Structure 1
Amino acid sequence: MTLCFATNNANKLEEISAMLGDQFVLKTLQDIGCFEEIPETQDTIPGNSRQKAEHVWDHYRINCFADDSGLEVDALDGAPGVHSAYYGGHPRSYERNLNLLLTNLNGKPNRRARFRTVITLVIDGNYHSFEGTAEGQILTEPRGTGGFGYDPIFQPDGYDRTFAEMSMEEKSAISHRGKAFAKLVSFLNNLPQS
């Protein structure tokens, strides 16, 4: 089966390609000729995920999936949440986002947080949703050089390392995106073969 992953994020593509294996042909937005900016105007993570998948299905009529993720910090009332990618402003900057978050958490004792991912899959016009979360805490300074985004300051529960200090395989096994993708892959593997 051919599927389009509605993203231009090379890190996400690499993660899901490793999980999907070779029974699916994974196409990027560029592969299907989608060069426009896909709207993300919803005020929730599930809303953005669905909006992106819907855009690809409506305009290109190809089976596809889209994800949206965010970091929800308890002491900041769930922020940055749906605004995680542009928390530090435009254009997107991982470093600005991370620094602003650390500044906003300065002096706050509660550093509980979670990463949340919602994936929307469209198969022949039918919509399916998959969610994954990773609970943890925000450290006071970055550690590690792997991963991307907020990974250097997020330490998942039960570990003494950040996502940025883990290999991609380790992170994928416990991450929000890894859990959501695992549900997606399980669903796809159980589809009747046509």
Structure 2
Amino acid sequence: MDEISIHKCKAAAQIIQAPVFVEDTSLCFEAFNGLPGAYVKWFLKELGPQGLYNMLASFDNKRAYARCTFAYTAGPGQDILLFTGTTKGTIVPPRGKTTFGWDPIFQPEDYSLTYAEMSSEEKNSVSHRYKALAQLQEYLESANQ
């Protein structure tokens, strides 16, 4: 999965000839050894949240993790730094608003709500994206001192 973020970052830096950061998000099912992973966007487009849940119907293991990676480079030819956040959870039957991707089927560990059922504030405090973005922010703040 890191390869996708690295490739996207290199390509973006080459195109704009400046510092860039890119984001890549994955939803990984343990029963499928990490799939759909970075391909979740296409799985979701074809199957919808219910279809993603149905993929695990015959498996006892419904554990999953959401992963977000921000890749940053100071420009073309520079090192690419990765900032990754992971949230462990379970794939459940769809619950909550269907306004954002696979949020209705992902229930973070130690929570009784899916991402879709959480308030924006609650989701943002536990999300994989928040964790990765906090690392990137910390790096950028320390680099500017």
Is TM-score (shorter-chain normalized) higher than 0.5? yes
Verify: 1:47 aligned to 2:3, yes or no: yes
- Consecutive unaligned residues of structure 1, counting only runs of 5 or more, are 1-44
Question: In structure 1, which of residues 131, 138, 148 is the aligned counterpart of residue 100 of structure 2?
Answer: 148
Question: In structure 1, which of residues 109, 118, 129 is the aligned counterpart of residue 60 of structure 2?
Answer: 109
* Relative contact order higher in (CA < 8 Å, ≥ 6 apart): 2
1:146–1:164 contact (8 Å) kept in structure 2? yes
Q: Secondary structure at the match of 1:85?
A: helix
Percent identity over the alignment? 35
State the partner residue of 2:51: 100
Verify: 1:120 aligned to 2:76, yes or no: no
Code of the residue aligned with 2:111 in structure 1: it is Y
Question: In structure 2, which of residues 18, 21, 27 is the aligned counterpart of residue 65 of structure 1?
Answer: 21
Question: In structure 2, which of residues 124, 127, 135 is the aligned counterpart of residue 175 of structure 1?
Answer: 127
CA distance in 1, matches of 2:114, 2:99: 10
CA distance in 2, matches of 1:134, 1:149: 16
Deviations 1:18-68 (A, max 9, x none): xxxxxxxxxxxxxxxxxxxxxxxxxxx211111111111111112110111
1:13-92 equivalences in 2 (<5 Å): 45-88=1-44
Code of the residue aligned with 1:101 in structure 2: it is L
Shift of 1:97: 3.8
Shift of 1:114: 0.3
**In angstroms, what is the RMSD of aligned CA positions?**
1.7
State the partner residue of 2:116: 164
2:89–2:107 contact (8 Å) kept in structure 1? yes
CA distance in 2, matches of 1:137, 1:82: 17
CA, structure 1 residues 147+133, in 2 after alignment: closer, same or farther (shift >3 Å)? farther
Say how many residue pairs are matched: 143
Shift of 1:153: 0.7
- Consecutive unaligned residues of structure 2, counting only runs of 5 or more, are none
Shift of 1:98: 2.1
Stretch deviating more after TM superposition (123-132 or 64-73): 123-132
Q: Secondary structure at the match of 1:148?
A: coil
CA distance in 2, matches of 1:54, 1:97: 31
Shift of 1:83: 1.1
Shift of 1:181: 0.6
1:70–1:80 contact (8 Å) kept in structure 2? yes
CA distance in 2, matches of 1:75, 1:176: 20
Shift of 1:71: 0.8
CA distance in 2, matches of 1:123, 1:189: 14
State the partner residue of 1:24: none
Stretch deviating more after TM superposition (149-158 or 102-111): 102-111
Q: Secondary structure at the match of 1:149?
A: coil
